[in-house]
């Protein structure tokens, strides 16, 4: 596959795919796909099962050779990859600290800093098998952050996370983009959250059905054919200004412990106190 380097000026794309196609055994998996992502962009790939989303990610990561087309990357591009899931032997004695260390040699301070950014520093010395599905997603995100990436590639980052936690995950991703200025490319099936969290959406069904701002894509005929109409009131993450944030277990942590929770947002053990 032709693989070229992009120019290094700040406005150049981090990664770019041009006319990428992929076939297996005579079956077309991807057809003439174009994609360009710059620093600070959040682009989300959506599409039905079998649409070629994972294949496109593998091509962009250099793990799969396309049948035709080219991928160009900025010279020296650092990519942090977060897979959907990892399979770990349930009897393998492996702590979160050792799991993170499998990707490179990092000091304790680096490990804690990455876990703090993803919101789970308390898990450092916990067995990997003891963490919940939502916590494991944050551990995987911390693992990607350890590479100090220019580009975060996230495959279903809210996999295994409950509804409350999904919004927190997408907000965290946006905060990481703002803090580090990295680009973000993710695959997600959480359409209502994608439409609020992404700068741009690429709807894939072997070919690019439609692409652009979320509000435009959600009205595109190809999107509607694949997913049907969506209540536009569901296209935004709840925007009420909270006086708290959530711990990974879903409990509320209030910015001002003496403040009564707002009427619209009452959580957990504060519910009775608020009445």
- pLDDT at residue number 103: 82
Query: Last residue of a domain, which of 117, 148, 179?
Result: 148
The CATH number covering residue 3 comes to 3.40.50.300
Compute the 3-state secondary structure of the chain and give helix, strand, coil in percent, each to the nearest 5.
35, 25, 40
Residues 6 or more apart whose CB falls under 8 angstroms from that of 103 comprise 143, 146, 147
Compute CA distances 241 → 29, 126, 192, whole Å: 43, 33, 19
Quote the tokens at residue 247: 């711990």
Q: What is the pLDDT of residues 233-242, one digit of tens each?
A: 444 433 333 4
Residues 6 or more apart whose CB falls under 8 angstroms from that of 108 comprise 97, 124
For residues 71 and 191, membership in a common domain is answered with: yes
Task: Round to whole Å and give the CA distance between 134 and 129.
Answer: 13
Cβ–Cβ under 8 Å, residues 196 and 235: yes
Q: 91 lies in which domain range?
A: 83-148
DSSP SS3 for 139:
helix
For residues 176 and 52, membership in a common domain is answered with: yes
CA 198 to chain centre: 10
pLDDT band of residue 3 (cuts 50, 70, 90) is: low
Task: Round to whole Å and give the CA distance between 54 and 196.
Answer: 22
Matching residue, tokens 């997408």: 170
CB atoms within 10 A of CB 105: 6
DSSP SS3 for 19:
strand
For residues 69 and 174, membership in a common domain is answered with: yes
Nearest Cα neighbor of 39 from 139, 191, 152 is 152
For residues 108 and 157, membership in a common domain is answered with: no
For residues 7 and 70, membership in a common domain is answered with: yes
For residues 158 and 220, membership in a common domain is answered with: yes
Mean pLDDT (whole number) for 184-199: 81
Cβ–Cβ under 8 Å, residues 84 and 159: yes
Cβ–Cβ under 8 Å, residues 14 and 150: yes
Cβ–Cβ under 8 Å, residues 215 and 40: no
Nearest Cα neighbor of 112 from 97, 129, 126 is 97
pTM of the model: 0.77
Q: What is the pLDDT of residues 56-85, one digit of tens each?
A: 999 999 999 999 999 999 999 999 999 988
For residues 133 and 45, membership in a common domain is answered with: no
Q: What is the pLDDT of residues 30-53, one digit of tens each?
A: 999 999 999 999 999 999 888 999
CA 75 to chain centre: 23
For residues 142 and 99, membership in a common domain is answered with: yes
């Amino acid at each position: 596959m032709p693989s070229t380097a992009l120019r290094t000026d700040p406005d150049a794309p981090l990664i770019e795919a041009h006319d990428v196609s992929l076939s297996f055994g005579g079956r077309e998996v991807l057809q003439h796909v174009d994609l360009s992502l710059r620093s600070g962009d959040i682009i989300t790939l959506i599409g039905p099962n079998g649409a070629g989303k994972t294949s496109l990610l593998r091509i962009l990561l250099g793990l799969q050779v396309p049948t035709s087309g080219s991928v160009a990357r900025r010279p020296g591009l650092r990519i942090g990859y977060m897979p959907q899931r990892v399979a770990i032997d349930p009897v393998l004695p492996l702590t979160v600290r050792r799991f993170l260390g499998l990707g490179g040699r990092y000091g304790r301070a680096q490990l804690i800093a990455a876990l703090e950014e993803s919101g789970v520093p308390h898990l450092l010395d916990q067995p990997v098998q003891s963490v919940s599905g939502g916590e494991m997603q944050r551990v995987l995100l911390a693992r990607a952050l350890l590479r100090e990436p220019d580009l975060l590639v996230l495959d279903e980052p809210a996999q295994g996370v409950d509804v409350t936690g999904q919004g927190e995950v997408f907000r965290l991703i946006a905060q990481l983009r703002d803090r580090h200025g990295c680009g973000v490319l993710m695959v997600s099936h959480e359409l209502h959250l994608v439409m609020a969290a992404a700068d741009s959406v690429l709807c894939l069904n072997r070919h690019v059905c439609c692409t652009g701002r979320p509000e435009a894509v959600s009205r595109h005929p190809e999107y509607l054919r694949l997913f049907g109409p969506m209540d536009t009131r569901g296209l935004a993450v709840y925007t009420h200004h909270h006086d708290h944030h959530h711990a990974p277990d879903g409990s509320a942590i209030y910015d001002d412990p003496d403040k009564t929770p707002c009427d619209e947002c009452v959580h957990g053990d504060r519910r009775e106190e608020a009445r």
